[in-house]
Amino acid sequence: MRLGLDDRVSIVTGSTAGIGLETARLLAAEGARVVVTGRDEERVERARADVGAVLGVAADLSRPEAPAELVERAAAELGPVEVLVNNVGIAYQRSFEELEEADWEELWQLNVMSYVRAIRAVLPSMREARYGAIVNVSSTAGKRPSGGMPDYSVTKAAVLSLSRLVADLYADDGIRCNAVTPGPTASPAWLAPGGLADQGAKRSGKTREEILAGVAKGRPLGRLAEPEEIAAVVAFLCSDRASYVTGAAWSADGGTVPVII
Go through 80-92 and write b for each residue having 16 or more CB atoms within 10 A of its CB, e for each that does not: bbbbbbbbbbebb
Element (H, E) at 161: helix 150-170
- 219, 149 contact by CB (below 8 A): no
Give the integer Cα–Cα distance in Å for 102 and 151: 11
Phi (first) and psi of residue 158, to 5 degrees: -60, -35
* Helical H segments across 79-149, by residue range: 101-107, 114-129, 140-143
Q: Is 152 a catalytic residue?
A: yes
Residue 57 near residue 63 (C-beta atoms within 8 A): no
Burial of 76 (0-12, 13-18, 19+ CB in 10 A): exposed
d(CA 85, CA 236): 12
Given the residues 115, 131, 152, 170, select the one marked as catalytic: 152
Give the pairing type, strands 175-182 and 55-58: unpaired
> In the chain, what is the straight-line distance between the N-terminal and C-terminal CA atoms, in Å?
27
CB 80 within 8 A of CB 129: yes
Residue positions annotated with a catalytic role: 152
